[in-house]
């Protein structure tokens, strides 16, 4: 089964797949257009990024908030046994088809691992383990089998278990618990707000002022935190927060983050 280490990107064991397989459009996040399957202009022959130390300064902020959840090294080293996409168009096409599916499956595994780490979710741990093992088996399939996985169906199976996990975790928070799932909170003034145990699943928190907010045990699955101001906020114990969400937000030395995530370098 996957460990947390296997669900973290290891670019040294990847053939730069995110820099080739995925498309991006010239915008505030990317300085240029790039078609899917075409190497980024900054990708070096050794699969490293030529401007990694200054991605934001060079107009590639979108790269700094992307996380493959370890899918890159899985596809490179396991699915394709260390073969590179360079020099073989057939291998390249198959790798590029597998990578985005693997990335989605690894994200699902990340959520399942987090749910299994929460003692409050013990009533559903058995089913969580069964589903985790099924998803893990899908990631170990042959290239064409992985590329053909119905990710929507997988998410449909996992979603109710994550919902139940959130309910069990938030039930342990005393007092009222706000339910703002899917809420439009763009630019909301939430400085110092008590959001302990709140359900913010899928909420739009773009550019929201969350300075000093208490988000302990809040559920943040799918919440859009782009440019949200988390300076001084307390995110310890929050549920289903991922590294890309944290990287897309603003924070400072006083922001308290979950132990499983790293403090973004640009804070």
- Tokens 């030395």 — which residue? 253
Q: How far apart are CA 67 and CA 18, in angstroms?
A: 9
Kindly report whether the global pTM for this prediction surpasses the value 0.85: yes
3-state secondary structure of 52: helix
User: Contact, 201 vs 223, CB < 8 A?
Assistant: yes
Confidence tier at 4 by pLDDT (50, 70, 90):
confident
CATH of 176-267, one of 3.30.1180.10, 1.10.560.10, 3.40.50.2020, 2.160.20.80: 2.160.20.80
Q: What are the start-end ranges of the H helices in 55-88? A: 61-64, 71-73
Q: What ranges do the domains of the chain cover?
A: 5-169, 176-267
Q: 256 - beta bridge partners? A: 234
Contacts of 181 (CB under 8 A, 6+ apart): 199, 200, 201, 202, 203
What is the structure's pLDDT at 28?
Answer: 87
Q: Where are the alpha helices (DSSP H) in the chain?
A: 61-64, 71-73, 89-117, 125-139, 143-147, 151-171, 243-248
pLDDT tens profile 110-127: 999 999 999 999 999 999
Name residue, tokens 């013990």.
122
- Residue 1 has what pLDDT? 54
> 3-state DSSP call for residue 65?
coil
pLDDT digits over 199-238, tens only? 999 999 999 999 999 999 999 999 999 999 999 999 999 9
């Amino acid at each position: 089964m996957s460990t947390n280490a296997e669900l973290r990107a290891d670019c040294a064991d990847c053939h730069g797949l995110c820099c080739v397989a995925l498309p991006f459009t010239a915008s505030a996040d990317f300085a240029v257009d790039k078609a899917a399957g075409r190497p980024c202009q900054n990708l070096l022959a050794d699969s490293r990024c030529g401007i990694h130390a200054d991605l934001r300064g060079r107009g590639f902020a979108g790269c700094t908030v992307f996380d493959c959840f370890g899918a890159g090294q899985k596809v490179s080293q396991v699915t394709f046994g260390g073969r590179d996409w360079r020099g073989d168009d057939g291998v390249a096409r198959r790798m590029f088809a597998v990578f985005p599916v693997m990335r989605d499956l690894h994200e699902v595994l990340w959520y399942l691992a987090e749910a299994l780490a929460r003692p409050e979710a013990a009533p559903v741990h058995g089913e969580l383990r069964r589903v985790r093992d099924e998803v893990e088996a899908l990631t170990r399939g042959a290239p064409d089998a992985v590329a053909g996985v119905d990710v929507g169906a997988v998410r449909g199976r996992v979603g109710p278990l994550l919902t139940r996990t959130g309910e069990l975790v938030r039930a342990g928070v005393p007092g009222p618990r706000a339910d703002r799932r899917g809420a439009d909170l763009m630019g909301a003034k939430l400085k110092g707000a008590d959001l302990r145990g709140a359900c913010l699943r899928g909420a739009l928190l773009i550019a929201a002022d969350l300075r000093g907010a208490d988000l302990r045990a809040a559920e943040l699955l799918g919440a859009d935190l782009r440019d949200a101001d988390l300076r001084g906020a307390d995110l310890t114990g929050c549920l289903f927060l991922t590294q890309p969400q944290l990287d897309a937000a603003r924070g400072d030395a006083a922001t308290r983050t979950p132990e499983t995530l790293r403090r973004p370098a640009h804070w």
